[in-house]
Amino acid sequence: MYLPPHDPHVDDPMRFKPLFRIHLMERKSATVECMYGHKGPHNGHIQIVKKDEFSTKCNQTDHHRMSGGRQEEFRTWLREEWGRTLEDIFHEHMQELILMKFIYTSQYDNCLTYRRIYLPPSRPDDLIKPGLFKGTYGSHGLEIVMLSFHGRRARGTKITGDPNIPAGQQTVEIDLRHRIQLPDVENLRNFNELSRIVLEVRERVRQEQQEGGREAGEGHGQQGSQEPPPPGGELDGAPAEDGGEPGDAAAAVEQPAQSGQGQPFVLPVGVSSRNEDYPRTCRMCFYGTGLIAGHGFTSPERTPGVFILFDEDRFGFVWLELKSFSLYSRVQATFRNADAPSPQAFDEMLKNIQALTS
Residue 343 shares a structural domain with residue 267? yes
Q: Are 130 and 122 in contact (CB under 8 A)?
A: yes
Triad 12, 159, 74: Cα angle to 5°: 70
Q: Provide the residue-wise pLDDT of the chain in tens; the chain has 358 residues.
A: 888 998 889 999 999 989 999 998 887 788 999 998 888 999 999 998 888 899 999 999 888 888 888 888 888 888 888 787 777 776 777 788 888 888 877 777 778 888 899 999 999 999 999 999 999 998 888 999 999 999 999 999 999 998 899 999 999 999 999 999 999 999 999 999 999 999 999 999 999 988 887 777 665 544 333 333 333 332 223 333 344 444 444 433 444 444 446 889 999 999 999 888 999 999 999 999 999 999 889 999 999 999 999 999 999 999 999 999 999 999 998 898 899 999 999 999 999 988 887 6
Q: Are 122 and 115 in contact (CB under 8 A)?
A: no
Give just the sign of the alpha carbon dihedral 1, 314, 277, 334: positive
Residue 233 belongs to a domain = no
Q: Are 90 and 37 in contact (CB under 8 A)?
A: no
State how many domains the chain has.
2
Counting beta carbons within 10 angstroms of the beta carbon of residue 30, is it exposed (0 to 12), middle (13 to 18) or buried (19 or more)?
exposed
Distance CA 151, CA 136 (A): 26
Tell me the per-residue pLDDT of 184-208, one tens digit each, with 9 for 90 and over: 999 999 999 999 999 999 999 999 9
Q: Are 59 and 49 in contact (CB under 8 A)?
A: no
Triad 329, 335, 340: Cα angle to 5°: 100
Last residue of a domain, one of 83, 115, 147: 115
Residue 141 shares a structural domain with residue 101? no
Residue 163 shares a structural domain with residue 268? yes
Residue 302 shares a structural domain with residue 164? yes
> What is the reported pLDDT for 358?
67
Residues 6+ apart with CB under 8 A from 143: 4, 134, 135, 137, 158, 159, 160, 161, 162
β-bridge mates for residue 290, sequence order:
172, 303
Last residue of a domain, one of 91, 115, 139: 115
Residue 254 belongs to a domain = no
Last residue of a domain, one of 115, 143, 170: 115
Residue 21 shares a structural domain with residue 98? yes
β-bridge mates for residue 133, sequence order:
145, 330
β strands within the chain, DSSP E: 2-3, 15-16, 20-24, 30-34, 42-50, 53-58, 111-115, 131-136, 142-150, 153-158, 170-180, 263-264, 272-273, 281-282, 284-294, 298-311, 314-319, 324-330
Q: Can you give the residue range of the structural domain that contains 106?
A: 2-115
Residues 6+ apart with CB under 8 A from 175: 152, 153, 205, 232, 240, 286, 287, 288, 289
Residue 155 shares a structural domain with residue 275? yes
Residue 172 shares a structural domain with residue 274? yes
Distance CA 145, CA 271 (A): 21
Residue 65 shares a structural domain with residue 91? yes
Residue among 17, 16, 52 nearest 34 (CA): 17
Residue 251 belongs to a domain = no
Residue 161 shares a structural domain with residue 296? yes
How many other C-beta atoms lie within 10 A of the C-beta of residue 214? Answer: 15
How many other C-beta atoms lie within 10 A of the C-beta of residue 156? Answer: 25
Q: Could you tell me how far CA 54 lies from the centroid of its own chain?
A: 24
Identity of the residue numbered 172: V
SS3 content of the chain, % helix, strand, coil (to 5): 30, 30, 40
Tell me the per-residue pLDDT of 259-315, one tens digit each, with 9 for 90 and over: 446 889 999 999 999 888 999 999 999 999 999 999 889 999 999 999 999 999 999
Identity of the residue numbered 54: F
